[in-house]
């Protein structure tokens, strides 16, 4: 049933996007952004989308199925025109981050979540859709105008309370500190040396690492005692430059977990990634008794995955017992 619903929604998005792409001579991903807006506003674009708008019933669709349908459409758009800065967080990773957020913040009734590199909103919305907290809302920042428009359409069609900012996320943000930050770190150099000078993790020479600055910015906008969940390159803590980063993190936060994602998810082992979890320091808080380290098997290897999940659950039990 759910699979059929994803297919139904994708067909609506795809049909509308193809028509808009042809009419406006734009890329598929740009057309998808326009289509999402059209569905939310019930704008049939002078009859061009009349039949698909009438077929759609987003109010009756499951929110996760809407997100997954958008994900399929975004993946199609990436095949249409590849863009290095428009890579989306894979669905399995988003769901696993959701699991970790629920485990680390178990019992909290209200949560505010922030993604400073939101892209199409896939990671943020995966977390918001799967949070067990009674009240949840989000903030998203993204510099790419096409991607944030898709995030806006998704958030509205999934009826999520999300405030979006179209800006350079390393500039000052008009948001209050949040309970949770989630982010697939953009990796590379940050060209704005003047802005980078405001950061402790600025480079001594040349351009600063954008991924270092995103970590520092995320800590600025996370509450004391709040948690941060980063998708990081496996070599983040390697190399002489990482000494500065490690010292900064030790001063600002407690490192809770480092979980390597399945290598099979990545075409090149050099691009493999991990999940890094830390908690911003707060008076009265203590570091975990031991940091959680794990290597995830392929998500398709059910028995191995169950074994790892038992290990993770045991770590949470032990940590809870030490704090009681």
Residue 6 has pLDDT above 90, yes or no: yes
Any idea which of 7-11, 83-87, 120-124, 311-315 has the lowest mean pLDDT? Answer: 83-87
| Confidence tier at 321 by pLDDT (50, 70, 90) | confident
Q: Which residues contact 143 (CB under 8 A, 6 or more apart)?
A: 166, 167, 168, 169
To the nearest 10°, report the CA torsion of 162, 168, 169, 174. -60
| Average per-residue pLDDT for the chain | 93
Q: What pLDDT does 320 receive?
A: 84
Read off the pLDDT of each residue in 92-110 and give the average, rounded to a whole number.
94
Q: Tell me the percentage of the chain whose pLDDT exceeds 70.
A: 96
Question: Are the beta carbons of 190 and 213 closer than 8 angstroms?
Answer: yes
Structural domains of the chain ordered from first start: 2-80 (1.10.150.470), 91-323 (3.40.50.150)
Q: Is the pLDDT of residue 83 over 60?
A: no
* Residue 88 pLDDT greater than 90, yes or no: no
Lowest-pLDDT range of 21-25, 37-41, 78-82, 255-259:
78-82
Strands (E), 6-161: 110-115, 135-142
What angle do the packed helices 28-41 and 145-157 form, to 10 degrees?
Answer: 30
- pLDDT of residue 1 exceeding 90, the answer is no
Percentage of residues of the chain with pLDDT beyond 90? 84
Indicate if the pLDDT at residue 293 is higher than 60.
yes
Rounded average pLDDT over 182-195: 96
Q: What is the CA radius of gyration of the chain?
A: 20
Checking if the pLDDT of 253 tops 70, the result is yes
Please tell me the distance from the alpha carbon of residue 182 to that of residue 124, in angstroms, as a whole number: 7
C-alpha closest to that of 72 among 90, 56, 54: 90
**Which band of pLDDT confidence, cut at 50, 70 and 90, is reported for residue 242?**
very high
pLDDT for 45 = 92
């Amino acid at each position: 049933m759910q699979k059929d619903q994803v297919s139904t929604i994708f067909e609506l998005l795809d049909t509308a996007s193809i028509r808009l792409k042809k009419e406006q001579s734009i890329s598929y991903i740009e057309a998808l952004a326009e289509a999402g807006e059209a569905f939310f506003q019930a704008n049939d674009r002078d009859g061009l989308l009349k039949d698909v708008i009438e077929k759609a019933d987003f109010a009756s669709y499951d929110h996760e199925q809407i997100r997954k349908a958008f994900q399929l459409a975004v993946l199609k758009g990436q095949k249409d025109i590849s863009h290095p800065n428009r890579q989306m967080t894979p669905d399995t990773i988003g769901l696993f981050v959701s699991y970790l957020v629920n485990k680390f913040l178990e019992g909290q009734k209200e949560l505010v979540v922030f993604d400073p590199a939101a892209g199409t909103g896939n990671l943020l919305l995966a977390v918001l859709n799967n949070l067990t907290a009674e009240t949840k809302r989000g903030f998203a920042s993204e510099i790419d105008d096409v991607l944030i428009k898709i995030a806006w359409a998704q958030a509205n069609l999934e009826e999520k309370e999300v405030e979006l900012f179209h800006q350079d996320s390393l500039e000052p943000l008009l948001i209050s500190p949040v309970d949770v930050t989630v982010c697939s770190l953009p990796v590379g150099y940050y060209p704005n040396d003047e802005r980078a000078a405001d950061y402790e993790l600025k480079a001594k020479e040349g351009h600063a690492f954008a991924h270092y600055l995103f970590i520092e910015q995320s800590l600025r906008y996370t509450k004391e005692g709040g948690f941060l969940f980063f998708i990081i390159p496996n070599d983040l803590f390697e190399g002489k430059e990482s000494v500065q980063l490690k010292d900064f993190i030790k001063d600002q936060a407690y490192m809770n977990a480092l979980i390597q994602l399945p290598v099979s998810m990545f075409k090149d082992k050099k691009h493999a990634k991990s999940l890094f979890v830390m908690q911003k320091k707060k008076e009265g808080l203590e570091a975990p008794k031991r940091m959680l380290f794990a290597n995830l098997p392929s998500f398709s290897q059910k028995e191995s995955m169950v074994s790892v999940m038992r290990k993770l659950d045991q770590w949470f039990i032990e940590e809870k017992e030490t704090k009681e």
